[in-house]
Chain A
Amino acid sequence: MAILKRDLALAYRQRAELMQPMLFFILVISLFPLAVGPEPKTLQLIGPGVIWVAAILSSLLGLERLFRDDFQDGSLEQLMLSSTSLPAAALVKVLAHWLTSIFPLIILSPLLALFLHLSEPMYWALLKTLLLGTPLLSLIGGIAVGLTVGLNRGGVLLALLLLPVFIPLLIFATSAVESAAMQLQYSAQLAIIGAMFLFSLALAPFAIAYALRVSQT
């Protein structure tokens, strides 16, 4: 709990850095109407995919911050030596990351749905997939960040490691929104995303803790 408070406070003090993923998210999305053309039909067609891809990319930007500062100033080592269980601490840090750098994106999503002319059922489907799916980005991302935190040039490597792993999530999320656009049921896709979320919620904290220990030695 104290870690959560501390991380949230730290993030709040560095508001400029906090804004960066959000601005990046909006900018990437506003590039598409310029590049593909502003016709509502096309935008509606590519909209959900664009929002998801932009969310994944901007979460990558924020992910690097997850452990790097703590690793560099030694507080991560302190945390490992303390009596708190490392998987629980990792889970809390991931939660703080999700709250600070991904949750704002979800709050922004009505605006973006408006930009990209999404219909109302599409928007609700998009919101549900984002709510269920983005915690996965933080959880799985945490593993890769934990592994690369000791390396000096982790940035591109992080993207190379994570983007392939995120693709299944992207496929199911966009197919849910597509189904919603055609007025079909999409609970199956949501169920799969939910299953992936629960699965990683159960295992990722331990993997992150292990990854941090590997990096620390």
Chain B
Amino acid sequence: MWKWLHPYAKTERTYHLCQRLLPWFSVLGVAVILCATVWGLAYAPTDYQQSEAYRIIYVHVPTAVLSKSLYSAMAVAAFIGLVWQVKTSFMAMMALAPIGATVTFISLITGAAWGKPMWGTWWEWDARLTSQLILMFLFLGVISLYKAFEDKQQAGKAAGVMAIVGVINLPIIHYSVEWWNTLHQGATILKLGKPSMPSEMLWPLLLSILGWALVSGAVFLLRMQNEILQRDIKRPWVVALAHKNSALSEVK
């Protein structure tokens, strides 16, 4: 395992790995998201209680699930970077952070749009909503701490420590619907026993979670490549790559 992973501590290898994986993630992701959204919006049955308005679930839940997974992924990358001093994992961390912030923002906006017809209010100081808002601030805090440093290696370490400290919020978001009885509904998918949702609604939802995950993966790969190029801009292999690309475009 270690032998297999070790080469990816080198930025060049990681760049080429990203290059190879990118088409898979982007094509598959867009296909799955399209398929799931059309299925969810047009073919899934109407809810007996919430009628058509529930359909925003096909955007809201995937983004909400992803926001937490992206934070965990960022914290894991930070941990790997801090413990094993792997340079690429800090780059991965910073490639993930803005995606996470965006996804959290989307889940808050769609949540507000869903809350208006259902609860009669755009925003409620409910435990789930508040902890989700805090999650966005944690992402933004990590990003701004990273930007505050001149030396990017030092910045990665500092932002990594902060990312790990913020993990305390994750269990709070997860259990917020059980610990506090507020407006937000309880867990529907991730719970012991059967999910409390008919399978005609559940399948497109699971599929759209997968689609969003793949698309964020694709964005992550792009950002990762970008991060590597920016950091290694004076390395010979980047210069060689730039020469090759410009030669290609001249031939065209």
Contact = CB atoms under 8 A, between A and B. Distances in A.
A147 interface: yes
A143 B165 CA distance: 9
B98 interface: no
Given A161-B145, A167-B169, A214-B157, 12 more contacts: A143-B161, A143-B165, A144-B162, A148-B145, A148-B148, A153-B148, A160-B140, A165-B168, A207-B161, A210-B82, A210-B161, A214-B154
A211 B158 contact: yes
**Main SS of chain B's interface residues?**
helix
Interface in B148-201: 148-149, 151, 154, 157-158, 161-162, 165-166, 168-169, 172
Interface residues of B, number: 24
B73 interface: no
Interface of A: 140, 143-144, 147-148, 151, 153-154, 157, 160-161, 163-165, 167-168, 171, 196, 207, 210-211, 214-215, 217
A214 B134 contact: no
B161 A164 contact: no
Contacts of A161: 141, 145, 162
**Main SS of chain A's interface residues?**
helix
B137 interface: yes
Interface of B: 82, 127, 130-131, 134, 137-138, 140-141, 144-145, 148-149, 151, 154, 157-158, 161-162, 165-166, 168-169, 172
A64 to B, nearest CB: 15
Contacts of B151: 217
Contacts of B144: 157, 160
